[in-house]
Amino acid sequence: MGLQPYLILSAVVFCIGLFGVTTRRNMIGILLGIELMMNAVNINLVAFARYTAQVTGMVFTVFTICITVTEAALGLAIVILLFRVRRTVMADHLDLLKG
Amino acid sequence: MMANPGNLALAAWLLPALSFLVLAIVFPLRRLGKPAAWFSILCAAAAFVSAVMAWRIQSVSAHPVHLVWPWLSSAGKNLADVGVLVDAQSTIMLCLVSLVALLVQFYSLGYLHDEAPAALGRYYVYQSLFAFSMMGLVLAPNLLQLFICWELVGLCSYLLIGFWYQRPSAARAAVKAFWITKAGDVGLLIGIVMLYQLAGTFDLTELHSLAATNAIPLAGLSIITFCIYLGAMGKSAQFPFHVWLPDAMEGPTPVSALIHAATMVTAGVYLLVRTDWLFALTPNVLVIVAWIGAFTALLAAVLACVQDDIKRVLAYSTVSQLGYMMTAIGAGVASAGFFHLLTHGLFKALLFLGAGAVIHAVGSNDLPRMGGLARRMPQTAIVFIVGTLSLAGIPFFGGFLSKEEILGAVWAGGLTGPFALLMLVAFLTAFYMFRVVFLAFFGTPAPMAAMAHAGHAGAHVNETPHAHEPPLTMLLPLWVLALMTMAVGVYTTFNEAGGRALSGAPGGETAAPGWLTPSAVGVATAGILLAWLTYQSRTINASSLAAMFGPIRAAALRKFWIDDVFEGLYGFVLLGFSRIIGWIDRYLVDGVLNLLSDWTVQAGDELRGIQTGKPQDYVYGVGAGVLVLILLMRLVF
């Protein structure tokens, strides 16, 4: 198989993630969307690593997965704290930064 | 070693500095008042003794002593020296300054006996500082030291005029004196610096030898001498800078005697005497000096005729006599002006101290509130009349020969206009001074005259309450000055050459015509006679005499509007200019800044709506940004 199907897959996954981030009101949903976008990037990295026969992309992917995990852990922790304080996880209710 | 006149002059200069430093630093001594005064007087006395010794030795050896230390050295060359230049002029002037300073400090003990001890101590600190600065000015070997001391005496004048600083009028007068003399001082500083640029030295001896060998380029020298003259105008109260001197009378009377009659105000004349060889190179400036001097003399004499405040009469008389001295310098005979400076220093100090005794006794400066004082204070009356006759220029009195010298010099210099003005001034001088004498010392006491209608019962109650002879501390200086004035007068009347030698003039006879002496004395006598007829025998009605000179009198009462012109200049030009500048600053400079900041605030207010605080909106923003970047990369690069 060539490079193209992987890239299409990755683009589709990325778009689904972006759609989730922009449309979900629930913060956990937004976090899930972000995870999807990250995974799209991972697919890209691995695909290009295979295509160019270089190991760099693989190594990067391992790093990214680690970072994604920590990010998900941090994000969920924040969501739990927010829920304790504000009794809500709806993103459009949390507008303290409104100008 | 000590017989060196340089060392003696240095001692005379530094003794008041010692007194100043001790009184300024050891504040418990200063706050004691009387002991501080005695310490200062002791130093002044020692300074006077060494000044007289320096003068005696110098007048015998008769060659200048130049005792200096290098100062301000840069690049292996001294910019200026500091030290003393002892010659005929500086030693005799040193004697005058230290004598008057000593007598005034002694007299102040009696005059200021009501002051609080701390205030008395402060007074003597200022007095010591003044004596030090004035002697430094007199002995200055170069123009730089002269200028520094010049500023220091100006500062002392400010401090002493404002000695009673609780009085608003005194504070105002002090500021006025300081600013107006300062205006002249700027000229002096510019002149000195320009002279340095031209001649390459500040040193008076070097400058003199340069001028003698014509080594100073004449181009631009007129501006320099005029700038130096400007400084002298401010200090010596020449028209139009004379306005500060009458106001300076707000200070204690002994201060007026020392600073505003005998010494500081003559510093301008002294400066021109010291640099007369420089002024001789610029005859056009000398003509200005002569005309302004003569005009100042006349203006001040007219003003003195209408004053009712005894100290103000004397102040205007001082301005008038300074004009005399300046005219002599303008005529090219600086030694005549210097001679008059010396005799004037003696008899005007005497007059001021006498007026101080009168004010002390009566408790008022107003002439109409005096009268008949000769019976109560005969000694004061005698010394005051001695001073008055001296000022009028009557033979055998101090001012006689010096006034003749000036008139002769001005006539010989071919300045007919100033000469005529000075003759008129001589008449007016005799008139206004004897007006003071007759009003204050003779006639009936004013309160008694008022009581005459009500019968004699209460007359003694309303008489000037404790008009009595002043204490010994005040009488002694008066007698010393009166006797010295008499001695100088008698000596110079019989021995004219000796008189000229006193002022360090070359022995030559000035070519005064024979009719000069009789006519000058005659004019003065006429002035005395008119005063006698008007104020003593009352043959001429004073008010009808005043009516004869109606417009002039009205103008003189308003001080010829000169103060008003100054005030107007200040009020309209300076304040108006400040208002315009203020308006520009407030509305243009600040306005632009305010507009910019207002715009920024407004723009921020409008743009804050973008920040919704909702995460998704920021994601849209990021997306839009990425799109724009992509488009840019496609289209532009």
Q: What is the mean pLDDT of residues B532-540?
A: 78
Mean pLDDT of chain B: 85
B613–A22 C-beta distance less than 8 A = no
Is the model's pLDDT at B458 over the cut of 50? no
Tallying the residues shown for chain B, one arrives at 637
Chain A CA closest to residue B608: A99
Per cent of chain B over pLDDT 70 is 93
Higher pLDDT, B369 or B202: B202
- Per-residue pLDDT tens over the stretch B18-65: 999 998 888 888 888 888 899 999 999 999 999 999 888 888 877 888
Contacts for B549 with CB less than 8 Å, ≥ 6 apart? none
Chain A CA closest to residue B615: A91
Contact by Cβ (8 Å): B485, B390: yes
Distance of alpha carbon B347 from alpha carbon B358, whole angstroms:
16
Contact by Cβ (8 Å): B204, B143: yes
B613–A95 C-beta distance less than 8 A = yes
DSSP per position, B379-397: HHHHHHHHHHHHHHT-TTS
A18–B616 C-beta distance less than 8 A = no
Q: What is the mean pLDDT of residues B119-130?
A: 91
Is the model's pLDDT at B457 over the cut of 50? no
Q: Tokens 């310098």 label which residue?
A: B329
Distance of alpha carbon B221 from alpha carbon B227, whole angstroms:
10
Q: Mean pLDDT lowest for which of A67-76, B255-264, B441-450, B584-593?
A: B441-450
The minimum CA-CA distance between B626 and chain A, rounded to whole Å, is 13
Q: Tokens 């005499």 label which residue?
A: B545
Is the model's pLDDT at B460 over the cut of 50? no
Higher pLDDT, B463 or B379: B379
On chain B, the residues whose CB falls within 8 A of the CB of A22 are 616, 619-620, 623
CATH code linked to domain A4-93: 1.10.287.3510
B619–A21 C-beta distance less than 8 A = yes
The minimum CA-CA distance between A51 and chain B, rounded to whole Å, is 25
Tell me which residue in B607, B611, B619 faces A22 most closely, judged by beta carbons.
B619
Interface probe, candidates A19, A22, A36, chain B, greatest B C-beta count within 10 A: A22
What single-letter amino acid sits at B437?
A: V
Q: Which of B5-9, B125-129, B257-261, B372-376 has the highest mean pLDDT?
A: B125-129
Is the model's pLDDT at B447 over the cut of 60? no
A97–B616 C-beta distance less than 8 A = no
Q: What is the pLDDT of residue B448?
A: 45
* Closest by CA position to B188, among listed B202, B207, B174: B202
Distance of alpha carbon B270 from alpha carbon B277, whole angstroms:
13
- Per-residue pLDDT tens over the stretch A38-77: 999 999 999 999 999 999 999 999 999 999 999 999 999 9
Distance of alpha carbon B413 from alpha carbon B423, whole angstroms:
15
A23–B613 C-beta distance less than 8 A = no
On chain B, the residues whose CB falls within 8 A of the CB of A21 are 616, 619
A95–B614 C-beta distance less than 8 A = yes
Q: What is the pLDDT of residue B103?
A: 93
Chain A CA closest to residue B621: A22
Higher pLDDT, B602 or A98: B602
On chain A, the residues whose CB falls within 8 A of the CB of B618 are none
In B, residues 610-629, which contact A (CB 8 Å cutoff)? Answer: 610-616, 619-620, 623
State the pTM of this model. Answer: 0.76
pLDDT category, B502, cuts 50, 70, 90? low
Contacts for B206 with CB less than 8 Å, ≥ 6 apart? B199
Q: What is the pLDDT of residue B498?
A: 66
Q: What is the pLDDT of residue B501?
A: 66
B614–A99 C-beta distance less than 8 A = no
Q: What is the mean pLDDT of residues B611-621?
A: 85
Chain B CA closest to residue A97: B613
Q: What is the mean pLDDT of residues B147-163?
A: 92
A99–B612 C-beta distance less than 8 A = yes
A99–B615 C-beta distance less than 8 A = no
B620–A99 C-beta distance less than 8 A = no
Q: Mean pLDDT lowest for which of B370-374, B484-488, B622-626?
A: B370-374
Q: What is the pLDDT of residue B461?
A: 39
Parse chain A into domains and list their residue ranges. Answer: 4-93
**B603 interfaces chain A, CB cutoff of 8 Å:** no
Higher pLDDT, B270 or B568: B270
